[in-house]
Structure 1
């Protein structure tokens, strides 16, 4: 009964604060799916996207943040919009965002990001690990490309808009560490005000999204919101699913007491390399009462990060599993294990298996996602040391996600994964080439 009541309340609030969506191209029907193109920045290795926001609409460049709570943008510099509306304390927007803060002490000139009697959430830069309690909650128009999923080649549809999308204003200093030209972060995390949740509510499609990150800095990947079948090769029908685990403790940036983590955690039972078990303390693979440990998926970390004892055992097992006794070379930061690239071919690197709960549930990591060329003569194991006692024991980073299709189903609380699309003779850039 309580669950049904909460669902009805959530639906009522969403319908109240997000009016029926209108299409920029005057299309009468609502889209069934949406797409954001994603590029890889060659300097920072961040994954970047762009939305159109405000009135009049302007393009806003953003860093993708898989576990981010919501969309946040810099409101200190050049935020001009006739449709900007601060979220007043006690409003439906504040309740949906679960804000417990009411600001009545601003001494600056009223404007975007600086209004009294408004509620706040805490925008966080997941790259620099900085966050702030100065984050006015507001709404504004956001425009995004729809997808014609009835078309044979999934061509892009018209741009559609959400008139009152909830976001948070961040101060300019929070942009430190982000790629050139970026004005904020696009949060896809497990909240009711993340982009996937708000898009699904506005357009009434399934509360799920998929990411497909390109390994190239010259071709795009994408984030898809809703259910998107791919033409010619429907990879989505062959995904392997594993439960998403809720970490009850928010462990990134500022948060209100009792807030759970907004990151996407999964359970790993063991790790195999070339069929050999990596010897590790399996208790590190579980989340303890303080919210520490476990495994999460992240676009903020360019490479997979392992707790020190796991990392050392991982390197040793990998080195032993390499064929032909390939010689090591001096490590090149941030990597701890590098090898002479002259001896490494396309099939030399052993397969890495992340063993998940259930029968035959294995996330396979092949050479393209395990080894990275560094300089002229070195191939390095694309995993890094996360130190002793990190908040999370295993963070699966961007390099290991590239050219993999990942489906995050928030309604069913599960993750679907394809493993490498190269085994399908395709890539993320090919799957998104029509957009």
Structure 2
């Protein structure tokens, strides 16, 4: 998930996202990037051998990538998270574990004396200690649901695409973190912190595009696929209790439903003096979240514009934060979608549209919920941060569908462009 307990107090995760599986073939782009194609595939297929550089994904629990770690390489499935820093792996813990440290000659625990063990990063804010028995660095995190995740700080070689392999620090733990995907073998931290995978491998730019067919492409390096509209990263130098300084934080300026710009006071969309209210672009969260005041204004306008189109399912709350839900048959929902307005998030220099032909839908069918007359339950894909609770706006990957999203660390900005992902992928030689 994109949030650490230090940046979002009280947060508990929504375990919904996308599965991505790395295969053995990669595509070098003219701009020098590495294109990794994505395909729909079930998690059970992870044991099937694939070439190590092609990515496939399937909607399941988390956005994960299977990469090669260790010497000789071992394929491991890790959550791809642009909101987390220190990567972690399950090590020798039964059926979920895919990494065997003793089988890797390049595996190395980090000693207590290492400067890395003593570093103060987002994921290691006074949370590292020394294991008196092994004299290795020990890391422990406590999450908002009172669960803990702990393990040894280690390093090993990561092979992405092709040689050379890159030595990376991570946490080797004995049990899954409840703040992440319990079906994954680990998590790959992709934020801007000093211990993130992108920082350790000196990756200055990466991007992806997710189609509405659950297929797409992940690109490491420069893209130059489509002209992008960039918005600058919001950077605050002072440490604030609710502001994550290494997240991909942008400034949300407007929200539009159809043609109507919502009357949300500017102050509601700005981080306050504590840092609460930042807006994060996050691959580790499926849906999007707004702080309560902005959410209520959006909800009221969405209900107004869809009155007579959708039948509200009163009293139902999905995943503890999505309280704008409806009931409809599959046929009625499909007809309604064509009449539902897009929700557009506006930033300085860029915007992201969801639904109404934009990137990603504004309704999600809740699996397993059935009502009379063969009706299902459908929920608005924007949630109320106050119900979680967390002190942030979050743009999840569901609202990034058919949008090329680029994380440009070198120039401190995030780029967006609406595209048809299957067509854009062909420019890289990748067929979806």
Q: Scaled by the length of structure 2, what TM-score is found? A: 0.71
Deviation, structure 1 residue 174:
2.0
Who is 1:211 aligned against?
208
Contact 1:97 1:193 in 2 (8 A): no
Who is 2:290 aligned against?
306
Contact 1:123 1:168 in 2 (8 A): no
3-state SS in 2 of match to 1:269: strand
Who is 2:130 aligned against?
104
CA RMSD in angstroms comes to 3.6
Of 272, 275, 289, the match for 1:291: 275
Deviation, structure 1 residue 48:
1.5
The CA distance in 1 between the partners of 2:153 and 2:409, in whole Å, is 23
- Structure 2 residue runs without a partner (length 5+): 1-23, 26-30, 39-54, 94-99
Q: Does 2:362 match 1:370?
A: yes
The CA distance in 2 between the partners of 1:399 and 1:310, in whole Å, is 19
Who is 1:162 aligned against?
165
The CA distance in 1 between the partners of 2:295 and 2:128, in whole Å, is 44
Number of aligned positions between the proteins: 358
Higher helix proportion (structure 1 or 2):
1
Who is 2:83 aligned against?
67
Structure 1 pair 318–79 and aligned structure 2 pair: CA distance change class (3 A): same
Contact 1:66 1:298 in 2 (8 A): yes
Q: Does 2:233 match 1:244?
A: yes
Who is 1:47 aligned against?
63
* Deviations 1:179-219, CA, capped at 9 Å, x for gaps: 42x111011011123222223x3xxxx611112234445xx
3-state SS in 2 of match to 1:400: helix
Who is 1:417 aligned against?
416
The CA distance in 1 between the partners of 2:388 and 2:380, in whole Å, is 22
Of 106, 126, 133, the match for 1:83: 106
Structure 1 pair 101–314 and aligned structure 2 pair: CA distance change class (3 A): closer
The CA distance in 2 between the partners of 1:124 and 1:264, in whole Å, is 23
Contact 1:304 1:382 in 2 (8 A): yes
Structure 1 pair 66–271 and aligned structure 2 pair: CA distance change class (3 A): same
Structure 2 counterparts to residues 24-423 of structure 1, below 5 A: 32-35=32-35, 37=38, 39-44=56-61, 46-75=62-91, 77=93, 78-80=100-102, 81-91=104-114, 93-94=116-117, 98=121, 103-107=129-133, 115-116=134-135, 118-119=136-137, 132=149, 134-145=150-161, 159-174=162-177, 178-180=181-183, 182-199=184-201, 201=202, 207-217=204-214, 220-229=215-224, 234-235=225-226, 238-246=227-235, 249=239, 261-322=245-306, 325-330=308-313, 333-334=317-318, 335=322, 336-338=324-326, 340=328, 342=332, 344-345=335-336, 347-358=338-349, 361-367=350-356, 368-374=360-366, 376-377=375-376, 379-387=378-386, 390-419=389-418, 421-422=419-420
Who is 2:13 aligned against?
none
- Structure 1 residue runs without a partner (length 5+): 1-23, 26-30, 108-114, 146-158, 253-258
User: Which stretch has the larger CA shift, 309-318 or 365-374?
Assistant: 365-374
The CA distance in 1 between the partners of 2:35 and 2:285, in whole Å, is 23
Deviation, structure 1 residue 33:
2.9
Q: Scaled by the length of structure 1, what TM-score is found? A: 0.70
Deviation, structure 1 residue 333:
3.8
* Deviations 1:59-80, CA, capped at 9 Å, x for gaps: 1111121111032112353432
The CA distance in 1 between the partners of 2:206 and 2:380, in whole Å, is 30
